[in-house]
Amino acid sequence: RNIILNNPRRRNALSLSMLQSLREDLLHDVKSKDLRVIIISAEGPVFCSGHDLKELSSGDDVKHHSQVFEMCAEVMTLIQKLPVPVIAKVNGLATAAGCQLVASCDIAVASEKSQFATPGVNIGLFCSTPGVALGRSLPRKVALEMLFTGEPLSAQEALMHGLVSKVVPEDKLEEETMKISHKICESSKSVLALGKATFYRQMTQDLDTAYKMTTQVMVDNLTLRDGQEGIEAFIQKRKPVWSH
């Protein structure tokens, strides 16, 4: 499924209504066997500029401000809870909560012209919530330099530090993203769902606990119909037929 941020005049800002739409789109038909991968892209030269600052002025009350940040946190954590991989396809600038969105996706493919920044500090609103996703994607000193200075990372720097998975020329962005998507679609949905959930769970655990938990998951994986089908197909030198 393609989700396209489509408000280029507002630099695809994550207003409360945009966040609510994004949440609905992410959850739509999520249990369907046909849904295998979600791609998030955007119209215009800015992938996403982060929160709509007009919603954060003193004209709105604290309750509204809380609602905006809570909805944002819900969307960012939802991405990792979904049973299918979520790919950010970035062609342009991703700043603040827009950078957080890229960091929260499972995979991110960026064009060479893309840039990533958390410039909140420059306007007196430190990017504390983007820092959660950034600090879990990047080395601490790189994340903190971004958060303290607001200076952008180039696409190549973002790749070098692990914020994105791949950087390609702009005219190859669609092709590369589809290549990854098609590869994902060749696998069993149920096996991938188990693997994704397990990966994020074990990342928060110490080494021994992580191995203990994943050892059990490997055993459970073998009891899945597609787990047995894959092994049988390999032994019989044929293509597996997944039931998902």
Check whether residue 169 and residue 193 sit in a common domain: no
Q: What is the mean pLDDT of residues 43-56?
A: 95
pLDDT at 104: 98
Q: Choose among 46, 90, 48: nearest CA to 72.
A: 48
pLDDT at 129: 97
Q: Is residue 193 part of a domain?
A: yes
User: Final residue of a domain: which of 185, 205, 221?
Assistant: 185
Check whether residue 14 and residue 129 sit in a common domain: yes
Which tens digits make up the pLDDT trace of 1-22? 999 999 999 999 999 999 999 9
CATH code, 229: 1.10.12.10
Q: How many CB atoms lie within 10 A of CB 100?
A: 27
pLDDT value at 60 more than 90? no
pTM summary value = 0.96
Provide the domain limits for residue 209. 188-236
Q: Strand 38-42 to strand 86-90: parallel, antiparallel, or no bridges (unpaired)?
A: parallel
Q: Is residue 202 part of a domain?
A: yes
Q: Is residue 205 part of a domain?
A: yes
pLDDT at 135: 97
pLDDT at 159: 98
Task: Grade residue 57 by pLDDT with cuts at 50, 70 and 90.
Answer: confident
Check whether residue 195 and residue 150 sit in a common domain: no
Check whether residue 83 and residue 16 sit in a common domain: yes
Q: What is the mean pLDDT of residues 65-87?
A: 97
Q: Is residue 241 part of a domain?
A: no
Check whether residue 175 and residue 223 sit in a common domain: no
H helix or E strand, kind and range, residue 104: helix 97-104
Please give the tally of structural domains in the chain: 2
CA distances from 116 to 91, 104, 158, 181 (A): 11, 13, 7, 23
Check whether residue 82 and residue 59 sit in a common domain: yes
User: Final residue of a domain: which of 149, 169, 185?
Assistant: 185
Check whether residue 29 and residue 145 sit in a common domain: yes
Q: Is residue 86 part of a domain?
A: yes
Task: Grade residue 58 by pLDDT with cuts at 50, 70 and 90.
Answer: confident
Check whether residue 202 and residue 109 sit in a common domain: no
Which tens digits make up the pLDDT trace of 109-163? 999 999 999 999 999 999 999 999 999 999 999 999 999 999 999 999 999 999 9
CATH code, 75: 3.90.226.10
Can you spell out the DSSP letters for 154-223?
EHHHHHHHTS-SEEE-GGGHHHHHHHHHHHHHTS-HHHHHHHHHHHHHHHTS-HHHHHHHHHHHHHHHHH
Q: Is residue 242 part of a domain?
A: no
Q: Which positions ≥6 away from 98 have C-beta within 8 Å?
A: 12, 14, 46, 47, 48, 49, 50
Check whether residue 37 and residue 118 sit in a common domain: yes
